[in-house]
Chains A and B, each alone.
Chain A
Amino acid sequence: MSSRNGVCVVVGASSGIGLAIARRLCLEGRKVAMLARRPRELEAMAAAIDDALGRKAAHAYVHDASDLDAAESLFVRIEQELGEVDELHYVAGVMPEVAIDEFDLGKDRMQMQVNALGCMAWANAAARRFLPRKKGLILGVSSVAQDRGRCGRPGYNASKAAMDTFLEGLRNRLWRHGVQVTTVRPGFVETPMTQGLALKGAISADRAAQLALAARDRGRSIVYVPGKWRLIMFVIRNIPSVLFRRLSI
């Protein structure tokens, strides 16, 4: 359980790990601003959570994570409506299908926009407030995919690497001011984003959320979810490029 008790913002809260994190934060007794694109789905999910809990905990805010300029004003609105925010969870992410012979700037741009720039927009908005308050948490859900550039998804790998490195920089800036920045790198998780990929040994989104929040509580900087991915990615990171390019991973 977090030592903080203010409002939580979850960006990308209508599916997968974001939704699972939002549910667990609501269970912790926090007021949660759930941000996602599709209004009906988001409203229905927030209503289902409130209904199960028997109290108002989830607050739906329609937001497109690629709309970078909207982040600051929405942050202001959330603080006005719900109170002071002390946790930001950035979980929004897109991973479009990319064929092996496809080089599509549109898809790459969308991934950079949502996965990397969206995170920067929201983390900046949070950091601006958390720094003077000398408290707060920024948790970003990156990916094991950020560790290497793979032939299958260059755009996704690059966007997650940008997000991950940005969060590291932010951590180094903010730690001396009592603001925690935690980067979560999930491996295989069963979510709508990974539907149809037949990932062997995938964990549930709820389990991923549990591990992410445990890392938050222990004040961890970077955590692989589940933990075995630290070892797997250590091996993958150290495969020489000349070999890696010949592998189908």
Chain B
Amino acid sequence: MTIPWNDEFVRGWGMAVGGPSRVLRPETKEQVADAFADVRARNGSIALRGSGCSYGDAAICSGGHVLDLSRMNRILDFDPLTGVARCEPGVTIRDLWRTSIQYGFWPKVVSGTMAVSVGGAASMNIHGKNNYAVGSFGEGIRRFSLLVADGSVLECSRTQNADLFHAAISGFGMLGCFLDLDIELKRVHSGRLRVGAIVCKDLADNLETIERLQGEADYLVSWIDLHAKGAALGRGVLHRADQMKPGEDPEGVRFFDPCLQDVPTTMFGLVPKGWLWPGMWAAVHSGQVGLVNALKFSFGPREQRGSPYLQSHGAFHFLLDYVPRWQWMTKPGGLIQFQPFVPKASAERVLRQLTETCHREGMIPYLGVLKRHRPDPFLMTHAVDGFSMAMDFAVPTSKRKRDALWAMCQRLSDVVLDAGGRFYYAKDALLPQPAFERVHGSEAVRTFRSLKARCDPRGMLQTDLSRRLMG
């Protein structure tokens, strides 16, 4: 049997890291099993890849094999009365809500882009803007079947192979390949959310407002102008969104039409948004990002006056899909995202210190996003009872500047780890090996390594990220 591997250069979504690999795009679970057998026979290494939305090196296997599961994208079953979907791993969040919304169901947890696959979402145990209220993606998974390295398939749920269930979710593709997953969706009583903007004058205001609203708001996310200094440091615009109760928004019934959930692909109904990235590229490369951030902040009060307003679920959640290929604005260097998760007690001090360090070193993220989180029961979780701040850096092309950015981020990560913080492997590209134990604690790492030894004794499942963190 010959497997049609294809030689490709596989990059992370941020385009800053990548490597040559032999890629296969299977369409059935039999083909996945055959690919595992082939790599096993060659004593090779293989990485699992969903939609390739991980910013860093979590779905890359330089010099090895990559199993791109994006063609295993069938929703095998959807129960329209209970809202439980059985999905192949390559089904995207978009596929999921396009099927479910007409029955009044929406995924419990969605990311900022709808392109993410459910297999990837489970492996990374992604979170949404409601992490503090409903937890992570894994908490809505009922069961899954997992193909492990020796070719056997294990059924996992909270009652069957529970240790594996809690480790494969969050296990960044190290334990096996999801073949199908049962995902619970939630009932929504309208195709729209009630959205409101609140201007926050500084970091403390931002954190306090989130803390105050987390008991009542369904979704909270704050954009931060990371270019603001001094008293305005950490200023931003917080968005809260709330679900409608039955009968509260009758007109919202029309928005059960999936087309009305998709983000618009044109500006003013005319200009394709796919053409916008060159303008954004010019802003990034001419050093005008600070100005763009200040401008965005200046629109905040007007939006606050116009709040609350109604917005489709899709338009609220999928901001990253508003401008297709926006990451190209960081070409040719690409981008990395540094997203620390910091316990709430030290959040203000740590986030302030991170921002000030960026200012001092002259490497300021072009985008900052603040969210509230809660712990979850998964072994390799990134969540803490605290806050995360996503910081997007455009990567310079010169080696010296790139090294300086990497070095600064290493220093930033030390600050975060000293405060008991964590990191998120869907975003990470640079954490060094000692950080792995510091993030998860030695006991969790020991358990994870023993599960790895049980499911994949020869270490066939590898990614550039796992080589970097687990050795």
Contacts and interface: CB of A to CB of B under 8 A. Distances in A.
Contact of B247 (A41, A44, A54, A205): A54
27 contacts: A23-B253, A23-B254, A23-B257, A27-B251, A27-B253, A40-B79, A41-B103, A45-B80, A48-B104, A48-B253, A51-B187, A51-B246, A52-B104, A52-B189, A52-B244, A52-B246, A52-B250, A52-B252, A53-B247, A53-B250, A54-B246, A54-B247, A54-B248, A190-B258, A190-B259, A204-B257, A204-B260
A206 B101 CA distance: 14
A134 B398 CA distance: 81
Interface of B: 79-81, 102-104, 187, 189-191, 244, 246-254, 256-260
A203 B269 CA distance: 13
B250 A41 contact: no
Contact of A48 (B102, B244, B251, B259): B102
A245 interface: no
A20 B101 CA distance: 13
Interface in A12-54: 15, 19-20, 23-24, 26-27, 40-41, 43-45, 47-49, 51-54
Pairs A-B, 9 closest by C-beta atoms: A54-B247, A48-B104, A204-B259, A44-B80, A52-B253, A206-B257, A44-B103, A54-B246, A53-B250
A241 B450 CA distance: 73
A55 interface: yes
Main SS class of interface, A: helix
B103 A48 contact: yes
Given A23-B256, A40-B80, A204-B260, A54 B104 contact: no
A189 B43 CA distance: 51
A52 B187 CA distance: 10
A66 to B, nearest CB: 22
Interface residues of A, number: 26
Contact of B103 (A45, A203, A206): A45
Contact of A54 (B103, B191, B250): B250
Contacts of B250: 27, 52-54
Nearest to A14: B102
A55 B253 CA distance: 12
A54 B102 CA distance: 17
A168 B396 CA distance: 68
B254 A55 contact: no
Contacts of B102: 15, 19, 45, 48
B426 to A, nearest CB: 30
Contacts of A54: 246-248, 250
Contacts of A48: 102-104, 253, 256
A52 B256 contact: yes
Contacts of A45: 80, 102-103
A118 to B, nearest CB: 22
A38 B249 CA distance: 28
Contacts of A40: 79-81
A207 B249 CA distance: 19
Contacts of A203: 259
